[in-house]
Structure 1
């Protein structure tokens, strides 16, 4: 399997996310899988990445926490990186900024994504003095994880939190622990003497940041016979050293030094209330050290109160002190709790956890084709599976890819009765002359109408095509939108903008705002909207300077689709659309094969059954596109220049192909007759 891992943070900054990614890389490599890491670049990476390829992207530090880096990479760039790697699954490690673009890129490439919820960003917003941002952050987290094919959460508390946000497709997946590295045998008298001089050691390991609530350790500073030892770095260190003058601050420790320190503790304390899991708790337990942790969030699943530690009442520092003092004063209890802690970690190895992770990858690969048959994947309502289906991966006897088994309602395409196409020459169908009389064209929208009608042979589809060659976004706003509203469609396709983008002066963001207004007006009527991103052919030198414009415009349209609940056909992200064999000789319009490609991709996006099979059959049976004669300069360029000089366009004086409805399909033989509404 080929796995692409997108991580919000990475080496050289070590934290829980980075540590988990490194463990996953190691175990995937040992199992024979290929990996790619996409992450922020923040310094030299010298660690063993176990053969993983890397794409480290330019990043900027958070002002209040420079060790944390943020990548602002567009989904189109990530899609290009992913396309070259050709992953079977995209693993999103603690996704937020980079992860949002990553899930969009995975969607564009129709690759399953597995989002690993590892950081309680909602609570972090409050801890960093941004309480008014909590609702916005929560909404962003909900959108992101609903868009992912599958979400893995590390604890029952984090699953409940995500469920409250409306996230579905949740699976429990914890973290492994290195029981060889973290073990009671790492305990040394020399280390203990150097930090505590024979006193009982109360230890903490983690980031020194507000969300970790390390300041709560002040309640333990004067327990008789004990020394507080704080391991870690972070933006709060200076303030904590001032508040805890009797504590020992070691700074960051890693490798054998961290293992020695962890085993050298007598009691491990974890005060943070925003933990989705608590990896350092596992490491302490594996080291045979009893744990006192807050009774909320991830620690609830890790600490067995009165067996290997204590859970204290969240926010109750008197209870925290009492629980720690109980263990400090009772060596026998510490020893019994420590033995139980070590025993409880024996079955939580990273090897076992990563085998479980691969199983989740396989499940996501089963679910993704089902999602591809549903419109508006990003707006999928909460529930275990689409359309109420219960899906389980079934291993085939021949060892091939597992296939889904639906045990309840079948997942099918939505039925539409009135379809209207808006756009320019691409939607009009220019150059798709295959099997048409001279001077007439079919086009992808005509073909899509036939596919929609094919999906429901018992009913007819009414279809109008208002597209006219050379039209721009402004023409859709002022002319085509009004005409479409009169027809009261329940499905509208919108492919527009290429003629604006090739102009001398162009603002892709402003164009996208105009398109967004059109889409919102249509959505307000209850119609579904199929929003299509414009595209360019590859290897055409004249188009090189236009590529950035098209990419920026497409990124805005992706946002519009997500925010309006529209169905996105992201052709700009599909490399195949740029191959020259799909284009007409003018390298401006699609040929018949290109229109067939777009029609079947659109049918896929709409969930039309058997679209892929029909596409293969169509390609096998279809004749080659009609041959063209003449040179490109004389046949295409000079007439275009001459029209521009005269202030004319190829669409002047032309009306829409189907200004009113025509009927496609229905019982008996297909028919076509004009209608008005």
Structure 2
């Protein structure tokens, strides 16, 4: 296809560390690498408005403010995001706009694109329920909040020509909760070769790895309890990469269970350190119950790791029980412990399941994701050109 000028809207973008930010970056740099002119509009990582070129992508930072409930997370004001989005579209005149959010920057991008008539694609990475830990909403009002939040998501994304989400389960939620009947799945995609090439660097004992935010929906406390419940004599270490509101509590939990010397909290790490963590691990565990895809699980699979994951949300799309790992019922710490023990004590089983993980992850190649979005852009641009010819 001919090179396009593409504007990507994002509520979070590197140096932020989370799955949505990593996807937005991979989408932007991947499209840029294919010859498109790519601009990203996102909250400024430092506060003041900024503009810089990173990896061939022009990043426009909307003036932002630190969010009091989440250290290191920047948010924008609606009355700032919309005018900036409008002015940027007037300046660059994008061929297509692709929002990856609907809250503040995303809402401003959608509103500006809709008013200006630019073709719009929307991709959802958010469950509104995940925001409850960062909003002062009384417990008795949370069900009402969730219903209103999903409807709001539907109203905003309903202005897009095409709506996607990373997995069939994520699409089901958009249809059932937000009323977006035409949404369809497009994997976030990963550069599997980057992880497949990692040499396994075994430690003295096998290592269980978790990567992600240390917030309540990730259920890392269940992983810690399951690790503490391993039968006597089962070798193993637990490595936890990431940071969040529950890190101190979960560190205290490991100490209280008497396993602090076998659990390492790494905090945020660099990309090279993350690659080294995958290379040094033997089992990956994702106990989270709100994963719309889980990029870190995909990365671990590409690195050849067997996976033990919660039977929740989109994780069953990645784990084939008995083939590349196991699923367990969230909250069933005993079952999780049993599954971990089986892998920690059987190197041959780990190798066999890890090989299947690599086969499964081939379905999620970033090249296929980029192909799909290029096809979407081409389709909606063709649709707009046909409409203009008919109007003339």
TM-score above 0.5: yes
Q: Could you say what secondary structure the match of 1:322 adopts?
A: helix
1:316 maps to 332
Correspondence for 2:186 among 166, 173, 176: 173
2:67 maps to 62
Correspondence for 2:245 among 235, 251, 258: 235
Unpaired segments of 5 or more residues in structure 2? none
Deviations for 1:263-303, whole angstroms, at most 9, x for unmatched residues?
22111110111111110110010011000111121211111
Task: Tell me the CA shift for residue 128 of structure 1.
Answer: 6.3
Task: Find the aligned partners of 1:366 and 1:65 in 2 and give their Cα distance.
Answer: 42
Task: Tell me the CA shift for residue 179 of structure 1.
Answer: 2.1
2:155 maps to 143
Greater relative contact order structure (CA < 8 Å, 6+ sep): 2
Deviations for 1:43-66, whole angstroms, at most 9, x for unmatched residues?
399997232222211112221212
Correspondence for 1:353 among 369, 373, 384: 369
Q: Could you say what secondary structure the match of 2:89 adopts?
A: helix
Once structures 1 and 2 are overlaid, which stretch shifts more, 104-113 or 350-359? 350-359
1:668 maps to none
What is the count of residue pairs matched by the alignment? 369
1:113 aligns to 2:123 (yes or no): no
Aligned CA RMSD, in angstroms, stands at: 2.4
Q: Could you say what secondary structure the match of 1:346 adopts?
A: helix
Residues 482-501 of structure 1 mapped to structure 2, 5 A cutoff? none
Deviations for 1:21-70, whole angstroms, at most 9, x for unmatched residues?
22112221121111111111123999972322222111122212122221
Check whether the contact 1:212–1:271 (CA below 8 A) recurs between aligned residues.
Answer: yes
1:211 aligns to 2:217 (yes or no): yes
Correspondence for 1:35 among 25, 34, 38: 38
Task: Tell me the CA shift for residue 184 of structure 1.
Answer: 5.9
Q: Could you say what secondary structure the match of 2:251 adopts?
A: helix
Task: Tell me the CA shift for residue 5 of structure 1.
Answer: 0.7
Residues 597-608 of structure 1 mapped to structure 2, 5 A cutoff? none
Unpaired segments of 5 or more residues in structure 1? 193-197, 370-400, 405-603, 614-677
Check whether the contact 1:200–1:226 (CA below 8 A) recurs between aligned residues.
Answer: yes
Larger C-alpha radius of gyration, 1 or 2?
1
Assess, with a 3 A threshold, how the Cα gap between structure 1 residues 162 and 317 changes in structure 2: closer, same or farther: same
Check whether the contact 1:231–1:253 (CA below 8 A) recurs between aligned residues.
Answer: yes
Q: Could you say what secondary structure the match of 1:203 adopts?
A: strand
Check whether the contact 1:184–1:263 (CA below 8 A) recurs between aligned residues.
Answer: no
Deviations for 1:152-174, whole angstroms, at most 9, x for unmatched residues?
11111111111112113212111
Task: Find the aligned partners of 2:167 and 2:364 in 1 and give their Cα distance.
Answer: 14
TM-score scaled by structure 2?
Answer: 0.87
2:265 maps to 249
TM-score scaled by structure 1?
Answer: 0.52
Task: Find the aligned partners of 1:303 and 1:46 in 2 and give their Cα distance.
Answer: 40
Residues 362-377 of structure 1 mapped to structure 2, 5 A cutoff? 362-366=378-382, 369=384
Task: Tell me the CA shift for residue 317 of structure 1.
Answer: 2.4
Assess, with a 3 A threshold, how the Cα gap between structure 1 residues 64 and 186 changes in structure 2: closer, same or farther: farther
1:183 maps to 196
Task: Find the aligned partners of 1:153 and 1:199 in 2 and give their Cα distance.
Answer: 39
Check whether the contact 1:25–1:49 (CA below 8 A) recurs between aligned residues.
Answer: no
Check whether the contact 1:78–1:102 (CA below 8 A) recurs between aligned residues.
Answer: yes
Task: Tell me the CA shift for residue 353 of structure 1.
Answer: 1.5
Task: Tell me the CA shift for residue 235 of structure 1.
Answer: 2.2
Task: Tell me the CA shift for residue 110 of structure 1.
Answer: 0.6
